Structure 1
Amino acid sequence: MYFAALLARTEDGWEASDTELDDVETLSDLADLAREATPDEDTVLVLIEQEDAWFGVVRLDGEEDPRIYVSDAAAAARSSYGEILLTDELLGREPGGDDTADLDSLDLDGTEDGEPDEDDDDGDGEGATEGGGSADSVPHGPVGDTAILDDLGVSVKELLSLTEDALTEIAESLGASEVLETVR
């Protein structure tokens, strides 16, 4: 189960609107949808959550490029909505490249010449994914701009510590919990 909402900061405070992501296929589509939420070039936050598995925040300030934070990239990668947020740039891949598919088709362990990576034995048991690709192609844990909400009252430390009810806690910190609950 997904929940997605837009929070637009206006001179009167935050305004929330429920949003449907069925027609959104790319980050550009999502940015266009968010920009339509406010006639001015105010800050707009897109909040997306999947049943406490992961959450994402996309921030748009006017015509600037979207800033993105995803709480768990590996969990989000298994979601059609999460895939929208996990751009090549966010994951540190070459644009248009599919590192995992290339590695899977070559059946390599993700290192040059097939040699084992010195970091493979780090004790966490995450040396490779089930498909034979590199575990680094989509990392477990947070990715993106951890300071995305810092100037709005949610510090990097607070953002990284959020788990269950993350969107509610973010909204409380922003002073927007009541408006978010109206669209939940």
Structure 2
Amino acid sequence: MYFAALLARTEEGWEASDTELDEVETFADLTELAREAADGDDTVLVCIEQEGAWFGVVRVDGEDDPRIYVSSAAAAARSAYGEILLTDELLGRVPEAPEDLDSLVDLDGTEDGEPEPDGDDAAPEPDAQAMPEGPVGDPGLLTDLGMDEKVVLSLDAEDALNEIADVLGCTDVLEAVR
């Protein structure tokens, strides 16, 4: 089971809203959703969790580049919502431009008519790249809000969003949308 919420900081404190991610297909869509919830350039946190498996936090401050933290890349990679957060930049991969791939030929290194390598000699599929088992991203994204990066790294996926809300002082507003 998934839970997603937006926590937007306002002059009056934090406001939470339940977030439906069915229309979100890319990280850019998620960032835009967060910016729409912002009160000017104030901070918005997008919090996503898959019960007991992983959690992620995206921090958007105005037009600054969003900051991301995901507790377990491997677990998030098996989730449609997690895949949205696992950007090429976050994982340190060079994005492939489809137009560049169309211009390449003989990607497997063989000449036309040569048999392709089989079994153990074949290169792994790009999608089969190993995901890091542990956390990825910026564990310091909540430091100025009162949560040290060591604490973020030690959060259990089961209680993480509640603990973050406790530190931010918005447990009641988060629970209201849960």
Query: What TM-score does the superposition give when structure 2 sets the normalisation length?
Result: 0.82
Q: Any conservation in 2 of the 1:6–1:16 contact (CA below 8 Å)?
A: yes
Q: Distance in 2 between matches of 1:105 and 1:87?
A: 29
Shift of 1:52: 1.4
* Residue number among 107, 110, 120 corresponding to 2:122 in the alignment: 107
Q: For residue 146 of structure 1, report the CA deviation from its aligned partner.
A: 1.1
Whole-Å separation in 2 of the counterparts to 1:139 and 1:5: 25
Aligned residue for 2:64?
A: 64
Q: How far off its partner does 1:109 sit?
A: 7.2
> Equivalent residue for 1:153?
146
Structure 2 unaligned regions, length at least 5:
98-107, 109-118
| Contact 2:8/2:39, CA 8 A, preserved across alignment | no
**Is the partner of 2:172 in helix, strand or coil?**
helix
> Counterpart in 1 of 2:176?
182
- Percent identical pairs in the alignment equals 69
CA contact (8 A) 1:58 1:66 kept: yes
Find the aligned partners of 2:171 and 2:23 in 1 and give their Cα distance.
Answer: 27
CA contact (8 A) 1:68 1:148 kept: yes
Distance (Å, rounded) in 2 between the aligned partners of 1:178 and 1:29:
27
Q: Quick one: distance in 1 between partners of 2:82 and 2:11?
A: 31
**C-alpha contact 1:70 1:144 (8 A) present in aligned 2:** yes
Partner of 1:167: 161
Number of corresponding residues: 156
Q: Which amino acid aligns with 1:69?
A: Y
Paired with 1:105 and 1:37, the residues of 2 have a C-alpha distance of 50
Equivalent position amino acid for 1:33 in 2: L
CA distance in 2, matches of 1:2, 1:76: 11
Task: Tell me how far 1:106 sits from its aligned partner.
Answer: 6.3
* Greater CA drift, 141-150 or 33-42: 33-42
Q: Unaligned stretches of 5+ in structure 1?
A: 111-130
CA distance in 2, matches of 1:106, 1:91: 26
For the aligned residue pairs, the C-alpha RMSD in angstroms reads: 2.2
Q: What secondary structure sits across from 1:36 in the alignment?
A: helix
State the AA in 1 paired with 2:172: E
TM-superposed deviation, 1:22: 0.2
In structure 2, relative to structure 1, the CA distance for the partners of 1:157 and 1:23 (3 Å cut) is same
Q: What residue is the counterpart of 2:3 in the other structure?
A: 3
Taking the TM superposition and a 5 Å limit, the aligned residue runs for 1:110-121 are: none
Give the structure with higher Rg (CA). 2
For the residue of structure 1 that corresponds to 2:29, the secondary structure is helix
Q: How has the CA–CA distance of structure 1 residues 22 and 106 changed in structure 2, closer, same or farther, with 3 Å as cutoff?
A: farther
